[in-house]
């Protein structure tokens, strides 16, 4: 029995020495640290890959916007509408709002549509068509004189770039890719605070020359 007790005591002593063996604990810690390092390296690699993808997308979008940023439209001036029936001293029946549109790029833009907002008189849509490279064109929108106190007319322009992408530059200058409902709404004149039956412009017709405008450069 003494011999059996000695064996048990010896085994217990060996287990205690094994539990406190520094080689065992350091080995386990090294394995854990190695696993953590592997996971951390993988996470860093994923993060760097995501940053590279976002940078490439930003660069691609910037290249796509290169031509679109050079296309714009703006309000330029107001003048008396030419009317041979009215004398120089007569009060004008209408004024003309002068709108300038420009393609400052080295390639043409297509399907150009210009929308001019003029106070309570609503919005007037013109279809100049294609703007050539470095081309500036003037459009004139006829309005009654009593509406010009509302404030400065606002101009927005829609077009397709040389790659066929559709763009909309708002009256505030921002560039976006319009949705189909936005395109449909953009191409419709609006009577503003009037109805079409009571609108002061209901008797005036828009000619093809009114849509194309006059080339300045």
Q: What is the DSSP string of 52-106?
A: HHHHHHHHHHHHHHHHHTTEEEEEEEEEEPP-TTS-TTSPPS-EEEEEEEEE-SS
Q: What residues have CB less than 8 Å from 78, skipping those under 6 apart?
A: 95, 96, 97, 98, 148
Return mean pLDDT, the chain: 80
Query: According to the per-residue pLDDT averaged within each range, which of 1-15, 67-81, 97-111, 142-156 is highest?
Result: 97-111
Mean pLDDT of 188-197: 83
Q: What is the pLDDT of residue 8?
A: 46
Nearest to 157 by CA among 106, 116, 208, 97: 116
Mean pLDDT of 152-177: 95
pTM over 0.85: no
Q: What is the pLDDT of residue 18?
A: 47
Q: Please say if the pLDDT value at position 65 is more than 80.
A: yes
Q: What is the pLDDT of residue 62?
A: 57
CATH fold of 69-215 reads Immunoglobulin-like (2.60.40)
Q: What residues have CB less than 8 Å from 147, skipping those under 6 apart?
A: 118, 119, 120, 121, 200
Q: Please say if the pLDDT value at position 167 is more than 80.
A: yes
Mean pLDDT of 68-94: 75
**Domain coordinates in residue numbering, the chain:** 2-65, 69-215
């Amino acid at each position: 029995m003494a011999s059996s007790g000695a064996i048990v005591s010896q085994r217990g002593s060996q287990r205690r020495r094994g539990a406190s063996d520094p080689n065992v604990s350091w080995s386990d810690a090294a394995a854990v640290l190695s696993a953590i390092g592997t996971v951390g390296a993988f996470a860093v690699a994923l993060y760097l890959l995501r940053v590279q993808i976002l940078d490439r997308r930003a660069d691609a979008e910037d290249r796509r916007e290169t031509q679109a940023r050079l296309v714009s439209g703006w309000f330029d001036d107001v003048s008396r509408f030419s009317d041979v029936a009215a004398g120089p001293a007569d009060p004008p029946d209408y004024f003309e709002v002068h709108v300038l549109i420009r393609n400052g790029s080295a390639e043409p833009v297509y399907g150009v549509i210009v929308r001019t907002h003029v106070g309570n008189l609503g919005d007037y849509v013109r279809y100049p068509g294609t703007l050539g490279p470095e081309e500036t064109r003037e459009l004139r929108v006829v309005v009654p004189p009593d509406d010009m106190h509302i404030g400065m007319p606002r101009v927005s322009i829609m077009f397709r770039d040389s790659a066929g992408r559709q763009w909309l530059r708002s009256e505030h200058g921002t560039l976006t890719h319009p949705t189909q409902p936005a395109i449909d709404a953009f191409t419709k004149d609006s009577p503003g605070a009037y109805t079409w039956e009571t609108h002061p412009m209901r008797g005036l017709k828009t000619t093809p020359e009114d849509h194309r405008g006059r080339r300045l450069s």
